[in-house]
Structure 1
């Protein structure tokens, strides 16, 4: 058994030039998991351009009921402006309480989709489930690219 009692200058610590790869692999695996979770979330926002309808025009009812959402988000029942809370009772008066009456919903191009859905929810809450969306007829007869 040998013991070294003196100190000489040759006992300096030798630098280790090897890379400890274990923490590097741990960091890479954590980043991989983060990207695997985040990748599907980034594909939800998809731009959609809705085409015009080329369906044949349906016969109009004798006295249709139109609910319109104007560009300033005001509601109109026929030609009269109606407050959102008063839409249900106004429809009941116009449809004579017939909940099976088809309601034609039309909206300005600039109306956000969420606002249109809120109006449809108001119609549903009032008991009117037959809702037709009104749009412009595609006069070209073809489909858009």
Structure 2
């Protein structure tokens, strides 16, 4: 009472294609190649991700603040030109732009958005205070002054 199993008639459990065992290895060479290309792409693009307005920031010994949401960046370059994020704004249009910014990015509870003020170290102090006064008048009271890392000066 023999029973025939499979195409060959025997019960050996062989597959149709012969005695090939399943391959248990993974070729990692393509994976490594892709990862190296991605590494090179990130190394090239990382320096380009800094803020768009070139500013020589002053030094400070203060620690960085923790941020919950993406803050608004207001920059003043060495010539005194104002930028909101990366868009240049004339000093005459700055109050209206700040008011619109507060209305646009204001949170649901009526709280003003966080503002990061970046100013060139060679800029006149009065120009920085003028912008801070406009921020205050527009209701943007959560202002942080941005500096470089810690300074070795006492």
| TM norm structure 1 | 0.54
Return the alpha-carbon distance in structure 2 between the equivalents of residues 79 and 90 of structure 1.
13
Return the alpha-carbon distance in structure 2 between the equivalents of residues 83 and 56 of structure 1.
32
Q: Structure 1 residue 75: deviation in Å?
A: 0.4
Q: 2:79 aligns to what? A: 72
Which deviations, in whole Å up to 9, do the C-alpha atoms of 1:123-142 show, x marking residues without a partner? 1121212211000011x7xx
Task: Give unpaired runs (5+ residues) of structure 1.
Answer: 1-50
Return the alpha-carbon distance in structure 2 between the equivalents of residues 53 and 108 of structure 1.
14
Matches within 5 A, 1:22-101: 52-95=59-102, 96=104, 98=106, 100-101=112-113
Matches within 5 A, 1:102-113: 102-113=114-125
Q: 2:142 aligns to what? A: 130
Task: Give unpaired runs (5+ residues) of structure 2.
Answer: 1-57
Matches within 5 A, 1:1-12: none
Change (3 A) 1:134 1:115: same
Matches within 5 A, 1:8-19: none
Q: Structure 1 residue 65: deviation in Å?
A: 0.3
Question: Secondary structure in 1 aligned to 2:93?
Answer: helix
Q: 1:35 aligns to what? A: none
Return the alpha-carbon distance in structure 1 between the equivalents of residues 115 and 149 of structure 2.
19
| TM norm structure 2 | 0.51
What is the alpha-carbon root mean square deviation over aligned residues? 2.3
